[in-house]
C-alpha cells in the first residue's frame, strides 16, 4: 500500500506545486491522476520516489518511509517502485531484450550490467514479460525499430522486470493514437490486477481515464479537489478540477472518435487497404 501524508513541494522560485496532499492507495488499485497543466501531477509522482525532494510531508510504501531514507537506502528502495515514462526512456541502440533486462540494474553488480551478463532467472523472467506484453517476437530488435505503442510495451516490461510493489506512470498515452492508447491502458490495468500492484497514472485524457481506472484523483493548484470513482466525475467535478467547459460536448466528441475508429470498413475501403498493402 502507498500512503502519502501532508506532502508539499515548493520550488526555489516560490511556486507551490503541492499543498498538503494526503492519499492512500491499496494493493491492486489503479488510480488515474488528472488535472490541468501545472496542477502538480508530475511533481506528485516524482516526489513519491524522490526524483525531486518533497519540501514537507511523508511517503510510505508499506511500512517503509521513503521520505526518511538516506541516499544509499533510497537506491535500494527504488527497486520497489517501477516507473513508466511518457517518452519511453529506452536505450535506442539496444535490443528490446536488453532494454527489458535493464530493469534489473538495481540488483546486479556493475560488471554484470556492463557486460550485459544477467542471471538466468532474470533472462527467463524477461522473456515471460515480453510474452505478456505481446512482444516475444521482437526480443532481438533494436528499440529504435519499434512503433510508439511497442516502445511503451517495452517500458512496461522493463518496469515489471524490477519486481516492483508500486507503479508510477507518467502520461503513458500522450504520444500514441487513440486505439493504441486504449490498448496500453487496458494492458496496464490488467497487469496491475494480475499482480496486485497499486499504480498511479498521470493522464490528460479524462475520457480514457474514466474508461479504465477504478479511482480518479483530481488535482488543481497542488491540492486534491476530487477523489472518487469514475462515475462520480460529473460536470460539477470536472469544472472544479479544470474550470468551465462544455463537458457534454467533450464526451460526445470522444464517443464519436471511438465509433469512427471501430466502424466496419466498407468494401471499397477494404479493397483500397489491400491494394496499399500490396504496393
pLDDT at 255 over 70: no
Looking at the 3D structure of the chain, how many domains does it have?
Answer: 1
Specify the CATH number for the domain of residue 86. Answer: 3.40.50.300
Domain that holds residue 71: 2-278
H or E segment at 46? helix 41-48
Sign of the alpha-carbon torsion through 129, 28, 17, 185: positive
Q: How would residue 253 be classed by pLDDT, with cut points 50, 70 and 90? A: low
| Mean pLDDT, all residues of the chain | 86
Look at residue 42 and tell me whether its pLDDT is greater than 80. Answer: yes
In the chain, what percentage of residues exceed pLDDT 90? 68
Cα(234)–Cα(206) distance, integer angstroms: 11
Closest listed residue to residue 265, CA positions, set 256, 274, 254: 274
Confidence of residue 259 (pLDDT cuts 50, 70, 90): low
pLDDT (tens digit, 9 = 90+) per residue, 68-97?
999 889 988 988 999 998 777 888 899 999
Tell me: pLDDT of 30 over 70: yes
- The answer to whether residue 145 scores a pLDDT higher than 70 is yes
**Nearest-angstrom CA–CA distance, 16 and 31:** 23
The SS3 of residue 146 is: coil
Tell the residue number behind the cell numbers 514537507, with chain if given. Answer: 56
Strand ranges for the chain from DSSP E:
2-10, 16-25, 30-34, 56-61, 64-65, 81-84, 166-170, 199-202, 215-220, 223-228
The answer to whether the beta carbons of residues 116 and 101 sit under 8 Å apart is yes
What is the pLDDT confidence band of residue 107, given thresholds at 50, 70 and 90?
low
> Which has more pLDDT, 112 or 28?
28
The whole-number average pLDDT for the span 126-149 is 94
Confidence of residue 271 (pLDDT cuts 50, 70, 90): very low
**pLDDT tens digit sequence for 149-169:** 999 999 999 999 999 999 999
Q: Quote the pTM value.
A: 0.83
Predicted confidence band of residue 251 (pLDDT cuts 50, 70, 90): low
For the beta carbon of residue 231, count every other beta carbon within 10 angstroms: 8
C-alpha distances out from residue 125 to 3, 79, 107, 152, Å: 29, 16, 14, 18
Amino acid at each position: 500500500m502507498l500512503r502519502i501524508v501532508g506532502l508539499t513541494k515548493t520550488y526555489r522560485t516560490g511556486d507551490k506545486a503541492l499543498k498538503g496532499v494526503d492519499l492512500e492507495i491499496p494493493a491492486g488499485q489503479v488510480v488515474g491522476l488528472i488535472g490541468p497543466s501545472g496542477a502538480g501531477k508530475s511533481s506528485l509522482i516524482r516526489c513519491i520516489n524522490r526524483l525531486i525532494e518533497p519540501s514537507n510531508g511523508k511517503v510510505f510504501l508499506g511500512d517503509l518511509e521513503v521520505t526518511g531514507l538516506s541516499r544509499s537506502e533510497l537506491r535500494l528502495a527504488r527497486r520497489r517502485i517501477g516507473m513508466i515514462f511518457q517518452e519511453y526512456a529506452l536505450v535506442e541502440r539496444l535490443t528490446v531484450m536488453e532494454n527489458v533486462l535493464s530493469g534489473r540494474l538495481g540488483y546486479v553488480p556493475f560488471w554484470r550490467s556492463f557486460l550485459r551478463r544477467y542471471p538466468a532467472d532474470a533472462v527467463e523472467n524477461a522473456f515471460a514479460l515480453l510474452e505478456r506484453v505481446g512482444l516475444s517476437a521482437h526480443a532481438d530488435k533494436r528499440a529504435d525499430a519499434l512503433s510508439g505503442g511497442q516502445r511503451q510495451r517495452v517500458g512496461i516490461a522493463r518496469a515489471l522486470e524490477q519486481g516492483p510493489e508500486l507503479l508510477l506512470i507518467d502520461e503513458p498515452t500522450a504520444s500514441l493514437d487513440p486505439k493504441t492508447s486504449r490498448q496500453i491502458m487496458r494492458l496496464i490495468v490488467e497487469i496491475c490486477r494480475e499482480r496486485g500492484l497499486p499504480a498511479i497514472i498521470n493522464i490528460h485524457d479524462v475520457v480514457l481515464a474514466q474508461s479504465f481506472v477504478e479511482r480518479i484523483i483530481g488535482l488543481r493548484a497542488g491540492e486534491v479537489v476530487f477523489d472518487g470513482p469514475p462515475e462520480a466525475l460529473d460536470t460539477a467535478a470536472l469544472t472544479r478540477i479544470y474550470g468551465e467547459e462544455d463537458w457534454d460536448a467533450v464526451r460526445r466528441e470522444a464517443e464519436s472518435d471511438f465509433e469512427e475508429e471501430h466502424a466496419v470498413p466498407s468494401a471499397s475501403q477494404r479493397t483500397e487497404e489491400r491494394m496499399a498493402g500490396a504496393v
